[in-house]
Amino acid sequence: MRKLLITVIWLALLAGLIWYLAGHADDLANMLDLSPANIGLLALLFLATQFLNGAEIMALMKNEKVSLKFWECFCLANITTAANYLPLKGGQVARAVYLRKKHDLPYADFAGLAVGGILLSLIVIFLSGAFFLVMNFFITGKFFAGLFWVFTVLFLGFLSLAFFFGMFNKKLKWQKLDSMGSGLRRILRDRALLARLVVINLLSILVMGLRFFVSFRALSFRATLLLSLLCGQIKKAVTIIGMIPSGLGISEASVGAVSGAMKEGLEVGIFAASLDRVVTIVVLILIGTYSLYYLARSEKAVGHG
């Protein structure tokens, strides 16, 4: 029943997004500047995002003494992203199955590290978002109080959750919670891994910001770096958190809410997020097909099948 409900919500959000874009087709056509340079930049920046996702996989698996080639991690990141577009958002499941079958990584160990990595990413996203808003106030004198408190409250919320999983659950002897927190505790104990993951997340935030900066430019809109960064952060967070496949519909609405809160207009944020989505899907179809072939051939070569 839960899976059916998620699928229905996903289809409703997709229909809503299509309806909104169709209703504003004239506005979008007047703004849109689909030059080869803009499309090429968006494609390259999406590839950069995937390389960073691959680097994160490699860092986490190294903690488990699982040896992965970087290209294998890149392809696995592509498959994860592609599978997240399925109605049941199966990216993490696909990654877990591959690592179990190919590298004998237990599902429990994978789940623990996945939860730890997700919590760390969300903490970095919302803390850096609040920091950017404070810095913008000192530089420009403009303070977006609503956004600041949203980012701050979410940061404190996920920090508290991480503290609970990482510190308290072992004492409480709750087996399921202890399993979920085990990966986070391993990350916190390994300072080199923790630093590496923080750097990867910060670079990913920067790349996502650049993706929106280019998307806004393709809409003939001169966006500030702050707006681009915050839109990128909220899209990344919604994609991580949401049960809806790849945050489809929700991320576009959330980006629109950010641009609206910054007095730049709801529609320009939705248009930019939609443009980024379209380029992402096109590139993902190409590299996803190759990645599936690469991983399948690699798996066959080592005798798993």
Chain centroid to CA 6: how far?
19
Q: Residue 242: how many CA atoms within 13 Å on its side-chain side?
A: 25
Give how far Cα 194 sits from Cα of 23, 117, 294, Å: 46, 10, 30
Chain Cα centroid distance, residue 84: 10
**In the prediction, which pLDDT does 34 show?**
67
Ordered by start, the domain boundaries in the chain are 2-299
pLDDT at 304: 35
User: What pLDDT is stored for residue 101 in this prediction?
Assistant: 87
CB 187 within 8 A of CB 123: no
- Residues 235, 239, 245: CA angle, nearest 5 degrees: 130
Both tokens of 117, joined, read: 């990595």
pLDDT, tens digit, 9 for 90 and up, residues 13-26: 556 656 655 655 55
Q: Which residues of the chain have pLDDT under 70?
A: 1-34, 87-89, 166-180, 242-248, 299-305
Alpha carbon of 43 to those of 36, 52, 237, 279: distances in Å? 10, 14, 21, 6
CA–CA dist 164, 224 (Å, integer): 37
Helices (H), 164-265: 169-172, 175-189, 191-218, 225-241, 250-261
What is the rounded distance in angstroms from the CA atom of residue 282 to the CA atom of residue 106?
33
Cβ neighbours of residue 25 closer than 8 Å, sequence gap 6 or more: none
pLDDT in tens, 124-171: 999 999 999 999 999 988 899 999 999 999 999 999 888 877 665 555
Q: CA triplet 87, 90, 95: central angle to 5 degrees? A: 165
